[in-house]
Homo-oligomer: A and B are copies of this chain.
Amino acid sequence: MVCSDVSLDELVGFHVGIDAFGYANLGILYQAEFPVGAVYCIRAGAVKLMKSTPSGEHRILRVLKTGDVAGLESAFAETYEHTAVAIGKVQACRIPITHFRRFVAGYPDLQVRLLQKSAAALREAETWYSAMLGSGTPARVRVARLLLRLRAGSSDRIHRLSLDDMAAMAGITRETVSRAISEFIRMGILVKSGSGMNTRHFRGDMPALEKIAQPD
Q: A7 contacts the other chain (Cβ, under 8 Å)?
A: no
Interface residue tally on A, bucketed by range? 35 or more
**Copies of this chain, how many?**
2
Check B216 against A55 for contact (C-beta < 8 Å): yes
Comparing A72-80, A153-161, A180-188, the segment that makes contact with chain B is A72-80
Q: A199 contacts the other chain (Cβ, under 8 Å)?
A: no
Check B76 against A119 for contact (C-beta < 8 Å): yes
Q: Provide 21 A-B residue pairs closer than 8 Å at the C-beta atoms, listed in order of the A residue.
A: A51-B126, A54-B216, A59-B130, A61-B126, A62-B126, A73-B119, A73-B123, A75-B115, A108-B108, A108-B111, A115-B115, A118-B118, A118-B119, A118-B122, A121-B122, A125-B129, A129-B133, A133-B133, A134-B171, A135-B171, A136-B173
A residues near B (Cβ < 8 Å) are 51, 53-55, 57, 59, 61-62, 73-77, 81, 108, 111-112, 114-116, 118-119, 121-123, 125-126, 129-130, 132-136, 171-173, 216
